């Protein structure tokens, strides 16, 4: 099957935001009186909606979680957003897909205002028809809701669309909207997490994305 519409997750799929996100979470936790010196323990925050992650991993109430999100953004919007790296081979992948006549979109739970900055910072904007992200109030933070909004707004046929992402939330969101999906193993979802979500394809590297037929 040749999919003419390709949706890309951002964090862990197009770019590696490890340093910026974990330091931003660390900053938010310190504001809440929690010191976490091991940034590797904060890696699960990469990908899922932030508010839910603070509730899941630190048992914050909904109000406490929103306070933590606001604190996170204090650090992220000035510093953490730039503590990021583009994965090697991404421009070549996007160039190839674009040359095949496909329409490319970003579909991220990250607020769109920040996603736009990241895409611009890495000079990736020319590859994408549009960037879709959540709103600062949490609207469309759920990947399923976001993908549905994107499909409806762009008038995309589900059967002609595929989602590429590194976490189970990308796969689950794609399934909720009856679109195909590719799990990438170079990001922040474990092999076990992705396998359990059962994507249509699995790729361990950007190079494999270039090599497979989808």
What's 32's domain CATH number? 1.10.150.240
Identify whether residues 76 and 108 lie together within a single domain. Answer: no
Cβ distance 107 to 147 under 8 Å?
yes
Q: Which residue from 132, 82, 126, 108 is spatially nearest to 11, judged by alpha carbons?
A: 108
pTM for the predicted model, two decimal places = 0.94
The whole-angstrom distance between residue 170's C-alpha and the CA centroid of its chain comes to 8
Identify whether residues 64 and 162 lie together within a single domain. Answer: no
- 213 falls in which pLDDT band (50, 70, 90)? confident
Structure-derived torsion over alpha carbons of residues 42, 48, 49, 51, reported in degrees to the nearest 10: -40
Mean pLDDT of 153-170: 97
Two tokens, residue 108: 């991220």
Identify whether residues 76 and 146 lie together within a single domain. Answer: no
Per-chain mean pLDDT for the chain: 96
Rounded Cα–Cα distance for residues 213 and 60 (Å): 43
Identify whether residues 53 and 151 lie together within a single domain. Answer: no
CATH code of residue 178: 3.40.50.1000
Identify whether residues 66 and 91 lie together within a single domain. Answer: no
Domain ends where: 82, 117, 133?
82
The residues, any chain, with a CB within 8 Å of residue 47's CB and separated by 6 or more, are 9, 11, 12, 109, 165, 166, 167, 169, 170, 187, 188, 189
- Looking up tokens 């197009």, which residue turns up? 14
Q: Which domain holds residue 205?
A: 5-16+86-211
Q: Which residue from 185, 183, 214, 187 is spatially nearest to 97, judged by alpha carbons?
A: 214
Cβ distance 50 to 69 under 8 Å?
yes
Residue 12 falls in which region: left (phi positive, over 0), alpha (psi -120 to 50) or beta: left
Q: Which residue from 150, 148, 186, 145 is spatially nearest to 165, judged by alpha carbons?
A: 186
Residue 86: per-residue pLDDT: 97
Any idea which residues carry the catalytic annotation? 9
- Judged against a pLDDT cut of 90, whether residue 1 lies above it is answered with no
Identify whether residues 74 and 121 lie together within a single domain. Answer: no
Radius of gyration of the chain (CA): 16
pLDDT tens digits, 80-95: 999 999 999 999 999 9
Rounded Cα–Cα distance for residues 158 and 161 (Å): 5
Identify whether residues 31 and 59 lie together within a single domain. Answer: yes
Domains contained in the chain, number = 2
Q: Which residue from 88, 78, 81, 113 is spatially nearest to 17, judged by alpha carbons?
A: 81
Rounded Cα–Cα distance for residues 90 and 8 (Å): 11
pLDDT tens digits, 91-129: 999 999 999 999 999 999 999 999 999 999 999 999 999
Mean pLDDT of 185-208: 95
- Judged against a pLDDT cut of 80, whether residue 25 lies above it is answered with yes
Domain ends where: 82, 112, 138?
82
């Amino acid at each position: 099957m040749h999919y003419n519409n390709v949706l890309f997750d951002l964090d862990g799929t197009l770019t590696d935001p490890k340093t910026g996100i974990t330091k931003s979470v660390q900053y938010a936790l310190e504001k809440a009186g929690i010191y976490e010196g091991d940034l590797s323990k904060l890696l699960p925050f990469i990908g899922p909606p932030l508010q839910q992650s603070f509730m899941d991993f630190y048992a914050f109430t909904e109000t406490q979680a929103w306070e933590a999100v606001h604190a996170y953004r204090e650090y992220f919007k000035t510093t953490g957003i730039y503590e990021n790296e583009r994965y090697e081979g991404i421009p070549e992948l996007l160039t190839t897909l674009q040359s095949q006549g496909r329409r490319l979109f970003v579909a991220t739970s990250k607020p769109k205002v920040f996603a736009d900055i990241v895409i611009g910072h890495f000079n990736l904007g020319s590859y994408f028809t549009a960037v879709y992200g959540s709103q600062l109030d949490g609207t469309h933070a759920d990947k399923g809701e976001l993908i549905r909004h994107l499909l409806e707004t762009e008038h995309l046929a589900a059967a002609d669309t595929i989602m590429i992402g590194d976490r189970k939330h990308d796969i689950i969101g794609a399934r909720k909207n009856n679109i195909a999906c590719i799990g990438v193993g170079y990001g922040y979802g474990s092999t076990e997490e992705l396998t359990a979500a059962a994507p249509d394809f699995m790729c361990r590297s950007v190079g494999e994305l270039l090599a497979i037929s989808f």
